[in-house]
Each structure stands twice: as structure tokens, then as C-alpha cells.
A = this chain, B = another copy of it.
Amino acid sequence: MSDRADPLRSFRDRFLLPDGVIYLDGNSLGPLPRATPDRIATVIRREWGQSLVGAWNDHGWIDLARRVGDKIGRLIGADQGGTIVADSTSINIFKCLTAALTLRPDRTVILTETGNFPTDIYIAEGIARASLRVVDDPVAALDADVAVLMLTQVNYRTGAMHDIASITAAAHRAGTLVLWDLSHSAGAVPLTIGADEVDFAVGCGYKYLNGGPGAPAFLSVAASHWPDLRFPLTGWLGHADPFAFDPSFRPAAGVAGGVVGTPPILSLAALEVGVDLMLEAPIDLVREKSVALTERFLTAMEAREFRSITPADPTRRGSQVSFRHPDGYAIVLALIARGVIGDFRAPDVMRFGFAPLYVRYQDVDDAVAILDDVMRAEVWRDPRYQQRRAVT
């Protein structure tokens, strides 16, 4: 495959990418869409600055969490009206786990797998009324005590991808609800969570959705649960009539009750730009190119001294690939210094994400060439690259 023949090639120009950079970390923080600066300047100067508090009506801020939620709902194939944007992924996991436990009052176990994203596990640990089971093979561990099975579809560390439909069906056969964390999936792989009867899903706005640093997260609930849905965090914006300032709480119907406090409008507006851009790209083409990019990189790395921890079968991996190397940390820093931005996860994992909207085939080849250079000259031995920073 060549960049010239790439049907998605025009999308790269829709981002403002720094010169001389091959960005292979869009799975951590997506880059800046070209349309974002002007959109946010308008929200700030015209909507906030000129309309002041009236902007809640005049510029639709009051519906923004649902409007962007509906758009993300289309991206992930959710039941219509079942998705909102609110808070962070962590907070949304808390809401969904607690709501799931309420729907399964006679069960007390939250089940997840070893190696799931730490925050997901921390949040589950913090729920006093439930006990958490962390196992290697969660489907085999399903039993009548498990209220909810919580899994991340694409593992943040290895890039391994679960099959949502079959695991969800297995959970349902055991009477267990599912919560899928789609943080490393949304905008990268085709999703049909409505058809797959996924009970709850959450995900991140700032990775493949390119919503900007700390963009608010999404939360989706199957329509079948709306009548009995009760979220534990009951804030004014999740009220059926927020501006009545009713002294007692009546939740808004369905998933809208999962909006709690006032959403961060600037960050939410930036997320909408990223989601709108993603909706323009046919997701099947995105996936096809993602597989081709990761395949090309894996093939090149196979010939070198890096051991992949990402499944070789493309149907079993997401849009990122990872390798273990004892000097991985220093190598990643040396690559970053040369404009190839990947990241590192302790203790020894080098991680590279391939976001098809702006990563080119040529970028893969160039990244490999630069890596060869780093390894040949052992530039990663430079003391500069041995010092730990807060974030890589």
C-alpha cells in the first residue's frame, strides 16, 4: 500500500501537526484538528464573551453534552440517544459499575481481567458494596455472583483486542452485565455496541477522537436498561428539569441522568470538533489502514531485536503495537529527540500507536529507519535519555 493510493490521505491536512514529527502517540493524546483553534476562539469570544450566561440557550451549551454524545453514539454504533459526554472515564466507570450493581441487586462481584487499565481497577476497588475479582480468563470465571464484567476492549499496554460480541453474549448467558471501556477503540475500530447488546460502555475523548487534553469522556447505556437506570451521582444537570431547582432529585430519563455537574464547555466544544472530523472518515477504511500500518511496522520490527507483545493476528489487535526491550525507556526518549513520538509503559514496554487519519505509510518506513539509526549508534546510551520524566 502506498500513501498515494490511500483513500484517507486527505485527512492528514485536517490536522495541525508540527514539522519534522512522526506522531505515533495519538492513542495517548490525539493531535490538534485544524478546525479546533477557530472553533474554541468563537466559543470564548463570541459565545462566552458576548452572550455571557445567555449562551446556555443561545449557543446550545445546555444540550452540548447530549449532542456530542449522540455523535459519539453513531461512531460506536450505540442505541440512539444512549450516549452522553460527561466527566472523566474514571468517573463514568464509577457511575456505570454502581448502576450495574443496582440492576443486579442479588450479586456483588465485579469481574475483570489481569492487566486491565489500572484506573478501571482502582475505581472498582473503591466501590464498597462490591468485591472485585481480577483473573486471567474472566469468561471462564463468570458465575452467579458476578454482577458485572468490566473489560477494556483494546489493552492499553499490549494492544490486544477482545471480541465484544462473543464475550458480551457469554456474560449474558451467566446473567452478568458488561461494561466495556472503549478508550483505545473509539475512532480506531468499527464498533456496534447496540447490536452487540452491550449494557454499558465508557471511553476517552482525547485519544483517537482527538478532543484535546483531558477532553471529557463518554458513557453509553443500552436502551433496554433505561427504564430501571439509576446513577449513584445525582447532580443538577442530570435532573429531569434542571432549571426548576427542585429540592428533590428526579432523574432525567435514560442516560441523560448520567450527566452530573456542569460540563467543561471549552473542552467539550473541542471534543465536538474531533468527533465531527472522525465521523467524516469511513470507519471501515480507518480500520483497514490501521491494520496495514500496524502490519507494516510489526513486520519491520520482527527482523530486529524487539519482541512484540501485540497479537500477530490483526483481528486480535487494535491500532497500537508494543515491544519489550530492557532499554525501552531510553530508546523511546532517543526516538522522541529525533521526532518519532511513541511512548513507554513501565517496566519495559515501548508503545506505538497508528492513527490512520494522519499517519502515513511513509511515516512507518521513516520511523523504522530512525530506529535503526538509534540502535546502530547506540545513541540511547546518552545520559540524557536515561533520566525519568513524569510522563513519556
Q: Using a CB–CB distance below 8 Å, which chain A residues touch chain B?
A: 16, 18, 21, 23, 25, 28-29, 31-32, 36-37, 40-41, 44-45, 48-50, 52-57, 61-62, 87-91, 94, 114-115, 117-119, 121-123, 125-126, 128-129, 134, 156-157, 206, 212-217, 231-236, 239, 243-249, 260-268, 270, 336, 341, 343, 345-346, 389-392
Expressed in whole angstroms, the Cα–Cα distance for A261 and B391 within the complex equals 15
CB distance from A17 to the nearest CB of B (A): 8
Q: List 19 A-B contacts (CB under 8 A).
A: A16-B45, A16-B49, A25-B53, A89-B261, A90-B233, A91-B261, A118-B245, A121-B247, A123-B233, A213-B262, A213-B266, A214-B263, A214-B264, A214-B265, A214-B268, A216-B264, A244-B346, A245-B345, A264-B268
Min CB distance A110 to B, Å, is: 14
Chain B contacts of A117 at CB under 8 A? 236
Q: How far is the CB of A261 from chain B (nearest CB, A)?
A: 3
* CB of A51, distance to nearest CB on chain B (Å): 8
Find A122's partner among B119, B121, B235, B389 (CB 8 Å cutoff): B235
In the complex, what residue of chain B is closest to A53 when comparing beta carbons? B29
For A270, list chain B residues within 8 Å (CB).
44, 266
Q: Are A48 and B25 in contact (CB under 8 A)?
A: no
Q: Cβ of B126 and Cβ of A129 under 8 Å apart?
A: no
Q: Which residues of B contact A243 (CB under 8 A)?
A: 346, 390-392
Contact present for B36 and A44 (CB under 8 Å): yes
Given contacts A53-B343, A57-B390, A94-B233, contact A122 B249 (CB under 8 A): yes
A118-B245, A239-B122 in contact; A391/B265 too (CB < 8 A)?
no
Q: Which of B129, B249, B264 contacts A128 (CB 8 A)?
A: B129
